[in-house]
């Protein structure tokens, strides 16, 4: 009796699972072109992936507008669309991409281990990281900004932070913004660190911190969701070029990615407008000049 009941429950769950899978055909993103007969020089990463017909991409699952996994299986966002453009140029359709969650602190590791073929995850190009992996791109230039409560008039830019030593600034452990904000602070005690930005937004909302700082695009997502509770202040005070992380030294793949982005500027714009571009006040970027591959 118990066994049949267990089987019935399993059957119901399997059915529910398959129903859920039916509902997610249209994910609202763009539909990048998939090249049917992609040909590559033998021995390159592109030839290998194209032959295999599938690839694994690392992205963030918690970044609204860039890589956010909802109730559907696949994440959505600008990073995801950019990855689809590149995969498409190798003849890999989005159904054949496996998405791997890569939070900030494991990105180099998964590339080195070969767990993923590339990482598109709001990945700021910097020298330390470039020692372990190769960056293609940049495909987007973000910049660090400050977000405060709408009724805060005391802080109008990073230079006001040292003058208000009681003001708490929130960011995420191990992020580039958390390092770069330090030179503007009166002391280290001003900096409050969490593991994800959602907590910073909550802390700002209930008055535990006064400022949240990270890349403008991430903050813009919070501002648009906040119903006027938050605002951005000041100018972008850093340059955060987002790159695509691949295995160290794979110059051919890097050049291929750069060329693919150059050749698909329409798809790039469409990718932006269907994702991060939907945030109020977001300007459609121009594809930045690629940096030399090394």
Q: Binding residues for other proteins, per CB under 8 A?
A: 104-106, 108-109, 112, 126, 128-129, 131-132, 170, 173-176, 178-179, 188, 191-195, 199, 202-203, 206-208
Nearest approach, Cβ of 152 to other proteins (angstroms)?
16
Nearest approach, Cβ of 294 to other proteins (angstroms)?
16
Nearest to other proteins of 191, 291 (CB atom): 191
Nearest approach, Cβ of 109 to other proteins (angstroms)?
5
Nearest to other proteins of 130, 232 (CB atom): 130
The crossing angle, in degrees rounded to 10, of helices 78-89 and 265-274 is 150
Nearest approach, Cβ of 130 to other proteins (angstroms)?
8
Give the pair of three-digit tokens for residue 139. Answer: 């495909």
* 3-state DSSP assignment of residue 216: helix
Identify how many contiguous H helices and E strands the chain contains and give both numbers.
10, 13
Cα(193)–Cα(178) distance, integer angstroms: 8
164 phi/psi in degrees, rounded to 5? -120, 75
User: CA dihedral defined by 48, 61, 110, 143, rounded to 10 degrees?
Assistant: 100
Q: How many degrees, rounded to 5, is the angle at CA 138 between CA 108 and CA 129? A: 25
Nearest to other proteins of 90, 161 (CB atom): 161
Nearest to other proteins of 192, 282 (CB atom): 192
- End-to-end CA separation in angstroms for the chain: 65
Nearest approach, Cβ of 132 to other proteins (angstroms)?
6
Give the pair of three-digit tokens for residue 142. Answer: 């973000």
Nearest to other proteins of 242, 268 (CB atom): 242
């Amino acid at each position: 009796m118990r066994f049949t009941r267990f089987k019935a429950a399993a059957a119901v769950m399997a059915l529910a699972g398959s129903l859920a899978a039916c509902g997610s055909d249209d994910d609202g993103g763009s539909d990048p072109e998939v090249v049917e007969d992609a040909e590559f020089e033998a021995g390159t990463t592109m030839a290998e992936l194209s032959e295999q017909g599938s690839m694994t991409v690392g992205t963030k699952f918690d970044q609204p507008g860039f890589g956010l996994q909802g109730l559907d299986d696949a994440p959505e966002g600008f990073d995801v669309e950019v990855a689809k453009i590149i995969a498409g140029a190798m003849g890999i359709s989005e159904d054949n991409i496996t998405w791997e969650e890569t939070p900030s602190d494991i990105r180099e590791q998964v590339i080195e281990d070969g767990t993923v073929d590339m990482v598109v995850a709001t990945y700021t190009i910097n020298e330390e990281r470039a020692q372990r992996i190769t960056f293609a791109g940049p495909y987007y230039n973000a910049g660090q900004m400050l977000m405060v409560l709408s009724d805060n008039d005391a802080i109008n830019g990073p230079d006001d932070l040292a003058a208000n030593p009681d003001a708490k600034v929130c960011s995420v452990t191990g992020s580039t913004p958390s390092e770069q904000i330090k030179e503007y602070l009166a002391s280290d005690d001003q900096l409050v660190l969490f593991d994800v930005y959602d907590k910073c937004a909550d802390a700002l909302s209930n008055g535990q911190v006064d400022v949240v700082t990270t890349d403008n695009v991430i903050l813009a997502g919070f501002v648009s969701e906040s119903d006027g509770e938050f605002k951005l202040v000041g100018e972008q005070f850093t340059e955060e070029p987002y790159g695509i992380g691949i295995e160290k030294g794979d110059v051919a793949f890097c050049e291929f990615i750069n060329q693919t982005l150059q050749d698909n500027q329409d798809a790039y714009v469409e990718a932006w407008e269907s994702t991060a571009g939907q945030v109020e006040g977001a300007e459609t970027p121009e594809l930045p000049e690629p940096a030399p591959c090394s």
